[in-house]
């Protein structure tokens, strides 16, 4: 197991970004649900950017799994959740769909924020496009020191949130994308769809399919995002 200072420091960056990104994601779900008539998550204390209530709800997905995946693979991933009233979702499937969309939109906002910081950093000569791209190396500092930590932070913020945005929007249960589909269905169709995706086996099948297909979706998406971030620069 690699316990070098650089690996540990990178792990701290990964975990801080993961914790903030997932907390914002679930807080966005909770806030949207509250505004749309379901106070369940609000009563559970999850309309907050304080990660503690979210960790208490999902300690395995927000602490243990991210740490394990980082030490095993060099990048951290996990999960969190916000409670909602299924009867409210059944009565108001369109509202529930907007609630489901709020989480991925929060991740997209962090992608755009990181991209803006990278563009500003490169424009002022503080950051520069790297020769090679990796999850934690989307941009690099022009000079060593604090700038290297800043470059790593915004790189992880960009890639991790792009991944969370795209993965959660897959229209497969139990991912948020399956909850967004009622926006495009009739009321009756939305009710039937919600009944279908609540079946336990559908959630297990959805996760298996999502992991199988996600790589073929994410890498072209990342290449597209890099072309927008660095016009005229090509990464194979």
pLDDT along the chain (236 residues), means of 10: 86 97 98 98 97 97 96 93 94 94 98 98 96 95 94 98 97 94 87 82 88 94 95 84
Q: 3-state DSSP call for residue 46? A: coil
Which residue from 138, 162, 163 is spatially nearest to 150, judged by alpha carbons?
Answer: 138
CB 93 within 8 A of CB 195: no
Cα separation, 104 vs 22, in Å, equals 10
Q: Which residues contact 25 (CB under 8 A, 6 or more apart)?
A: 80, 103, 104, 106, 107, 164, 168
The DSSP code for 61 is I
pLDDT at 1: 63
Helix (H, G, I), strand (E, B) or coil at 73: helix
Strand, coil or helix: what is 58?
coil
Q: How far apart are CA 62 and CA 77, in angstroms?
A: 9
At residue 188, the pLDDT reads 83
Please tell me the predicted confidence (pLDDT) of residue 197. Answer: 82
pLDDT value of residue 227: 94
> Token pair for residue 8?
């540990």
Q: Which of 85, 79, 81 is nearest to 34 (CA)?
A: 85
Token pair for residue 145? 């020191």
The CA distance from 170 to 165, in Å, is 9
- pLDDT value at position 119? 97
């Amino acid at each position: 197991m690699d316990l070098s200072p650089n690996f540990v420091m990178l792990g701290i960056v990964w975990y801080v970004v993961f914790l903030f990104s997932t907390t914002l994601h679930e807080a966005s779900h909770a806030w949207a649900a509250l505004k749309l008539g379901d106070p369940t998550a609000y009563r559970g204390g999850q309309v907050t950017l304080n990660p503690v209530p979210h960790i208490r709800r999902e300690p395995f997905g927000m602490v243990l799994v991210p740490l394990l995946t980082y030490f095993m693979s060099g990048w951290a991933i996990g999960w969190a959740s916000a409670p909602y009233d299924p009867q409210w979702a059944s009565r108001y499937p369109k509202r529930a769909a907007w609630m489901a969309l709020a989480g991925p939109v929060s991740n997209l906002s962090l992608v755009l924020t990181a991209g803006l910081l990278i563009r500003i950093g490169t424009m002022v000569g503080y950051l520069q496009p790297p020769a090679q791209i990796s999850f934690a190396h989307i941009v690099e500092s022009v000079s060593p020191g604090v700038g290297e930590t800043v470059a790593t932070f915004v790189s992880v913020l960009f890639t991790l949130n792009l991944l969370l945005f795209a993965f959660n929007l897959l229209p497969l249960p139990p991912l948020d994308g399956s909850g967004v589909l009622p926006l495009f269905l009739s009321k009756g169709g939305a009710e039937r769809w919600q009944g279908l995706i609540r079946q336990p086996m559908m959630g297990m099948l959805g996760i298996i399919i999502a992991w199988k297909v996600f790589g073929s979706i994410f890498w072209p998406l990342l290449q597209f995002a890099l072309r927008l971030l660095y016009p005229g620069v090509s990464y194979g």
